Amino acid sequence: MSSVISKATLGRLPTYLEFLKRQEVEYISSTQIARALEWGEVMVRKDMNAVCGQGKPKVGYLRENLMTSILDTLGVDKNISAIMVGAGKLGTALMEYKGFSEYGVDIKAAFDNNPEKWNERFANGKRIYPIELLKEYCKENDIRIGIIAVPQSQAQIVCDEMIDCDIKAIWNLSAVTLDIPEGILVKNENLALSLSFLKTCMMRNEERNDF
C-alpha cells in the first residue's frame, strides 16, 4: 500500500468497494471497473495502482485482494473516537446506528444545549452532555472527530467550538457550507442533495431511453 494516496482517490474507494462487492467474477481489470462506473480509465488505473499495485496482465486484479486492499487503505481496522453535537432526531438516529463501529469509529457521546436532554440516554446507554462540557470531554477522551447534527443556524458556532477543542476532522450533516481554517478536514453530508440526485436521474430516465 502506497502512502501517497490522494484524498480524491480515497474518496472514490467506497464506490469501488460497493461495486466490487456486487461482482461475481474472480478477476477484474481497471478498464472493466472504469467502464462500469463511467469513470475515466486513466484515473481508475491510477487509483487501483495506488491501492493495490499493478494488476496481472490481461486479467487485472483478483477481486478479493482488491477489496482487502481497499479496506486496508480505508483503515477500517483502526479505532477512533468521535463525539456528536446535536441530539435531535438525526443525531439520535446516528448515535444509535450500529454500522459505524464496523469501520472503526466509536461515537462516544452527544452534546446538546437543551437541558431537558441532559438526563436522557440513548438506547445503547450513551449519554447527552451540556455543550459546556465539550472541551473537557474531548481532552479526556482523545476525541479526534466531531459530528455536527445541529440546525443550520448553529452549525458554524458548533464548528468553531469543535476546532477550539482540538478536533481535526468534522462530519457536517447540517447542509451549511462551513468556514474552516487550514488543516481541518471537513466532510459535508448533504442528504437533500443526494436524494435530489436520484430524482434527477429518474426524471432523465423517463425522458428518454438511452440514459
Residues 91-150 that bind a second copy (CB under 8 A): 92-94, 96-97, 99-100, 102-105, 144-145, 147
Which lies closer to a second copy via its Cβ, residue 62 or residue 175? 175
Other C-beta atoms within 10 Å of 159: how many?
24
**Which 3 state secondary structure label does DSSP give 186?**
strand
The stretch near a second copy (CB under 8 A) out of 25-33, 113-121, 128-136, 166-174 is: 166-174
Exposure b/e, 175-186, CB count within 10 A at least 16 = b: ebebeeeeeeee
Distance CA 99, CA 104 (A): 9
Q: Are strands 61-62 and 185-188 parallel, antiparallel or unpaired?
A: unpaired
With CB under 8 A as the contact rule, the residue among 24, 58, 89, 115 that binds a second copy is 89
The stretch near a second copy (CB under 8 A) out of 50-58, 59-67, 88-96, 124-132 is: 88-96
The stretch near a second copy (CB under 8 A) out of 48-56, 112-120, 157-165, 195-203 is: 195-203
11-70 residues in contact with a second copy (CB under 8 A) are 11, 13-14, 17-18, 21-22, 37-40, 42-43
Distance CA 145, CA 170 (A): 6
Which lies closer to a second copy via its Cβ, residue 103 or residue 118? 103
Contact between 165 and 138 under an 8 Å Cβ cutoff? The reply is yes
The stretch near a second copy (CB under 8 A) out of 57-65, 125-133, 135-143, 165-173 is: 165-173
Least Cβ distance, residue 66 to a second copy (angstroms): 16
| Strand extents, DSSP E, the chain | 27-28, 61-62, 80-85, 105-112, 128-130, 145-148, 169-172, 185-188
Q: Which of 149, 147, 183 is nearest to 168 (CA)?
A: 183
With CB under 8 A as the contact rule, the residue among 67, 90, 131, 165 that binds a second copy is 90
Which lies closer to a second copy via its Cβ, residue 54 or residue 177? 177
Least Cβ distance, residue 50 to a second copy (angstroms): 12
